[in-house]
Amino acid sequence: MNSYETILAIVIIIIIGYACRRLDFLKSEDTQTLNKIVVYIAIPALIFLTMYNADLSNINAFGTITIVCITVGLISGIITYVFTYIKGYSPKTRWGVVAASTLFNSGFLGYPVTLGVFGSAGLVRAVFFDVGSTILFISFGVFFLILYGGRYQDIIKRSILFPPLLAVILGILANLLQIPLGSVIPSVLDYLSGAAIPLIMLSLGLSLDFRGIKEYFPLASFVSALKLIISPVIALFVVGFLGLTGLDRTVTILEAGMPSAMLSLVLAITYELDMKATTACIFMTTSISIITLTLLILVI
C-alpha cells in the first residue's frame, strides 16, 4: 500500500473501534483488555521479530534516533512548562500536561504508520525512536516519585520490565549472537505480531471520547500545535545537526510528529496529576494527528 492507503486503512480501523463503542458492541473498559494483549503479547512479538531480522550494521545511527527523540521530547516539555507556568495553571495540571507534551505515541500509533508506509526497515527505526520515549517515561517516573512520593518497585515494574523494551533488548541480542530460532518459534511470533496493528487501532478507536475536551480546549489546542506541528519542525533541525539522512531522517521526523502517548495518562493516574487535562491532550492530539500525519508524510 502507498502512504494514502496506509493512513486511510488506519483511519477506517480506528472508526470501526469508535463505532463498536458507540453501538455497544464493545465497552470503553474493553480497551484495557485489548491494551494488555497488545503490550504484553502482540507488540513484543512484533518488535522481537523486527529486531531479529533487521540489518543492525548501522546501529550507531539507530542510537542517534533515540537521542533525537529524547532531545525533541525535552524541548517540547520545557516549552509547555513555561507556557503553563505563565498561564498560572496549578502544578498538578502543569505536570500532567508537560508529560503529555514530552512523551510520544511512537509505539501505539507510530509503529503501524511507519510499518505501513516504510515497511520493516522503517519499523526498525521507529522502535529505536520509541526506546527514547520509554527512557523519557522512566525519567518522569523517577522525577514524580521524588516530587510526590511512591514506590520504586512500581517504576521498575512499569519501566525496566516493560515488555516492548525487553523485546528490543532480546531481539537485538538474538540478532547479534545469531541465535537460531528454528521454524516453529518464528511462525508463532509471526501470528502474534500480526494481531498487533489491528488491535492497536481498535483500541484507539474505543478510547476516543470527545466530551472531556471542552473544559481544557485551549490547553489541549496548544499541546496539539506543539506536538503535531512544532515538534517535527524541531526534529528537522536536530536531525540536520546530528547528520541523519535518508530513511533515518524521514522516520525520525515522522515519529516526532506523533500525538501524546497513552503512557502520560499512566503517570497522571499514578501520581494523581490532572487526569482530565492529560486526557484532553491525548484525545485531541490523537484525533488531529490523522490529518497532520498524512500531511507530514507528503512533506518529508
Give one DSSP letter per residue of the chain, joined into a string: --HHHHHHHHHHHHHHHHHHHHTTSS-TTHHHHHHHHIIIIIHHHHHHHHHHHS-GGGHHHHHHHHHHHHHHHHHHHHHHHHHHHHTT--HHHHHHHHHHHH-B-TTTTHHHHHHHHHHHHHHHHHHHHHHHHHHHHHHHHHHHHHHH---HHHHIIIIIT-HHHHHHHHHHHHHHTT---TTHHHHHHHHHHHTHHHHHHHHHHHH--GGGGGGGHHHHHHHHHIIIIIHHHHHHHHHHHHT--HHHHHHHHHHHT--B-THHHHHHHHTT--HHHHHHHHHHHHHHHHHHHHHHHHH-
Using CA atoms of 154, 159, 164, 167 in order, give the dihedral in degrees to the nearest 10: -100
**The model scores a pTM over 0.85:** no
Cα 256 to chain centroid distance, Å, stands at 10
Q: Which of 130, 151, 143, 145 is nearest to 70 (CA)?
A: 130
CB atoms within 10 A of CB 78: 13
pLDDT at 240: 92
pLDDT in tens, the chain (300 residues): 556 667 777 778 888 888 888 888 887 778 778 878 887 888 889 889 888 888 887 777 788 999 999 999 999 999 999 999 999 999 999 999 999 999 999 887 888 889 888 888 898 899 899 889 888 988 887 788 777 766 666 666 666 677 888 888 899 899 889 899 888 998 999 899 888 878 877 877 777 666 667 778 999 999 999 999 999 999 999 999 999 999 999 999 999 999 998 878 778 877 888 888 888 898 889 888 888 988 898 888
- Of 14, 250, 290, 232, the residue nearest 118 (C-alpha): 250
Q: Is 280 exposed, middle or buried (0-12, 13-18, 19+ CB in 10 A)?
A: buried
Place of cell 501524546: 260
CA distances from 37 to 32, 103, 159, 221 (A): 9, 22, 17, 31
